């Protein structure tokens, strides 16, 4: 219901606003409104002032960007205290921070996870014996045609890879929200476009392995302790002019860094070998980045932002 009359009415009247992206440029917070910024991904890519300067924004424009972002925030979430510095620095933010994991990941660690996995696979008509591959490439800033549109990278030929893997594999294609017009038909339940599927956690739980690149989805997927492959033939370009990282990508990619699609197919056929080789890396990754994800992050957020319920009159 975004941008409907009802949506605008709620935006104007609600006391609490919970967002994970930036407000539109026309937005002005009403007196008394409180804003919780949850963000939509683990901090890893360049952002805020660092990114704006790389795009040659003028000092005045940077000030305007800060006006519509961090200066509206009453509370922000980070997954761990070590990540706080990036929002302090890159958004000149000096307000309160709650550093105790992300509520969106609670389901991945809950006792409901197995049932969600079974339900999602059944909904997508995936057989029990089939191995599900979640392919979720991120968008490229240097290919973007606007703030909300960027073509899908072609590093993995979906049809060719699906046919090479055969009927025992199902490839779920999850495009970024900035990837328009990527609808692809399913072929014998081996290739399914799930770009518009409404809940990413369902897809994470349904998958047996993920093929990713620079998406922060790797931090969420790691909670399943299932293998990840990283198809990153443009790593040098992405780390340089295209976007850049807050810390070295290699330090936060627990799995093989692959240059060619053919190698991805080979590794998918040997998932037992991948699991064994990178088992320790997955453990270190979660101990480093996800150590506060305990399945109860939402409880901490409710207490910190909304506080105790008002007493009855």
Q: Which domains does the chain have, with CATH numbers?
A: 5-101+294-306 (3.40.50.11820), 108-289 (3.40.50.12580)
Comparison of pLDDT for 273 and 144, the residue scoring more = 273
Task: Please report the pLDDT score of residue 139 as a whole number.
Answer: 66
31-45, 134-148, 298-312: least confident range? 134-148
**What does pTM read for this prediction?**
0.89
The DSSP secondary structure of 254-271, one letter per residue, reads -S-EES-HHHHHHHHTTH
3-state class (DSSP) for residue 10:
helix
Residue 37 scores a pLDDT above 50: yes
CB 131 within 8 A of CB 168: yes
Percentage of residues in the chain with pLDDT exceeding 90? 80
Would you place residue 145 in the very low, low, confident or very high pLDDT band (cuts 50, 70, 90)? very low
Residue 52 scores a pLDDT above 70: yes
pLDDT digits (tens, 9 = 90+) for 238-285: 888 767 899 999 999 999 999 999 999 999 999 999 999 999 999 999
Task: Please report the pLDDT score of residue 135 as a whole number.
Answer: 96
Task: Please report the pLDDT score of residue 302 as a whole number.
Answer: 96
Mean pLDDT of the chain: 89
46 vs 32: CA distance, rounded Å = 32
pLDDT digits (tens, 9 = 90+) for 204-224: 999 999 999 999 999 999 999
Beta bridge partners of 88: none
Q: Rounded to 5 degrees, what angle do the CA atoms 176, 180, 185 make?
A: 90
Residue 127 scores a pLDDT above 50: yes
Would you place residue 175 in the very low, low, confident or very high pLDDT band (cuts 50, 70, 90)? confident
């Amino acid at each position: 219901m975004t941008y409907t009359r009802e949506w605008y009415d709620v935006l104007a009247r609600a006391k609490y606003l919970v967002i994970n992206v930036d407000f539109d440029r026309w937005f002005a917070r009403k007196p008394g409104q409180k804003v919780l910024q949850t963000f939509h991904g683990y901090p890893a890519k360049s952002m805020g002032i660092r990114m704006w300067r790389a795009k040659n924004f003028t000092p005045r424009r940077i000030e305007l960007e800060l006006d519509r972002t961090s200066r509206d925030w009453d509370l922000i979430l980070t997954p761990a205290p070590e990540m706080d510095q990036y929002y302090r620095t890159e958004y000149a933010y000096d307000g309160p921070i709650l550093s105790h994991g992300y509520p969106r990941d609670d389901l991945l660690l809950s006792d409901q996870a197995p049932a969600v996995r079974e339900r999602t696979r059944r909904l997508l008509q995936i057989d029990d014996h089939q191995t599900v591959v979640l392919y979720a490439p991120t968008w490229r800033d240097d290919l973007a045609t606007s703030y909300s549109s960027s073509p899908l990278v072609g590093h993995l030929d979906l049809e060719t890879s699906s046919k090479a893997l055969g009927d025992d594999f199902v490839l779920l294609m999850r495009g970024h929200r900035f990837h328009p017009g990527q609808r692809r038909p399913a072929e014998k339940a081996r290739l399914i476009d799930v770009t518009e599927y409404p809940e990413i956690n369902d897809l994470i739980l349904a998958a047996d392995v993920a093929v990713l690149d620079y998406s922060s989805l790797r931090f969420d997927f790691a909670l399943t302790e299932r293998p990840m492959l990283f198809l990153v033939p443009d790593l040098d370009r992405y780390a340089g002019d295209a976007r850049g990282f807050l810390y070295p990508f290699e330090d936060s990619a627990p799995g093989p860094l692959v240059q060619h699609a053919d190698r991805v197919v080979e590794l998918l056929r040997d998932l037992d070998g991948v699991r064994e080789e990178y088992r320790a890396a997955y453990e270190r990754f979660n101990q480093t980045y996800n150590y506060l994800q305990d399945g109860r992050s939402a409880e901490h957020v409710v207490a910190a932002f909304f506080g105790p319920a008002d007493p009855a009159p």
